[in-house]
Amino acid sequence: MRRKLVAGNWKMNGSIAANALLLTQINAGFGNAGCDAAVCVPAPYLSQCQALLADSAIALGAQDVSSHDAGAYTGEVSAAMLLEFACRYVIVGHSERRGYFGETDELVAQKALRALHAGLVPIVCVGETLAQREAGQTDAIVSRQIDAVLSLIAENELTKIVVAYEPVWAIGTGKTATPEMAQQVHAVLRQRLHARSATAAQEVRILYGGSMKPENARELLAMPDIDGGLIGGAALKAADFLAIIHAA
């Protein structure tokens, strides 16, 4: 039985004052939730959020990591740096990184590997655009994206990753994949994991992301291959984020 994970992706949002309020409210409402939870915050706020989560069951995560170890890479943040702030998770290959910053499957795979080797849990994002879905390419696109990552990871390390299916057309748009549509793609991703390792297929959590909110979380999370959520907009409102956590 895979324990569900609800991870917030704050994207480029927040301020010292807003983060303090949000995390104080989330900590207060978390109670004895029956799932894992995390917040992936902008890098400059890692230290602040680490302190705010010091006595919390909610884990800390980052939104990106360099594919390099250290050195002359202006603007980059290394996996070792994230670990110094007690990060557990790091998102890699979010569609905004792929779309706006030109990240390729190969780069995303390198980032995932670097995170894994440093001891972080990479949350590997995959997902098709609307044009790709309409052209019937969804399964091929997500398979190509996930295979690029899986092929770099040793078999005994495959269980240490998290995958997130995020249809690009559903991110921040209010349009959600129906539970059946999402389940169908999650099953494809589970098959790709299975092609590498039966254990990984059984243990790796596959999150859904894309306009998940309190109103649709329960039915999405009820699908057999949906093991949690990667939450954007709704993770910025304590009541909504907590409602999703308590639905999981």
Binding site for ligand PGA (CB under 6 A): 9, 166, 171-172, 209-212, 230-234
Contacts 24+ apart (CB under 8 A), 150-158: 150/192, 150/193, 150/196, 151/109, 152/109, 152/110, 152/112, 152/113, 153/112, 153/113, 153/116, 155/196, 155/197, 155/200, 157/116, 158/193, 158/196, 158/197, 158/199, 158/200, 158/204
Beta-carbon count within 10 A of 107 CB: 17
Q: Which is nearer to ligand PGA, 146 or 201 (CB)?
A: 146
Task: Quote the least distance from Cβ 220 to ligand PGA, whole Å.
Answer: 12
* Minimum distance of ligand PGA from residue 167's CB (angstroms): 10
Nearest approach, Cβ of residue 204 and ligand PGA (Å): 18
CB of 95 to ligand PGA, least distance (A): 7
Q: Which is nearer to ligand PGA, 115 or 235 (CB)?
A: 235
Apex 127 CA angle, 118 and 158, nearest 5: 35
* Options 84, 166, 180, 246, the catalytic residue: 166
Nearer to ligand PGA, 189 or 201 (CB): 189
Whether 166 is a known active-site residue: answer: yes
Reading the block at residue 157, the tokens are 């390390």
Round to the nearest angstrom and report the end-to-end CA distance of the chain. Answer: 13
Catalytic-residue membership of 94: yes
Smaller CB distance to ligand PGA: residue 128 or 197? 128
- Contact between 241 and 38 under an 8 Å Cβ cutoff? The reply is no
Indicate which residues carry an active-site annotation.
94, 166
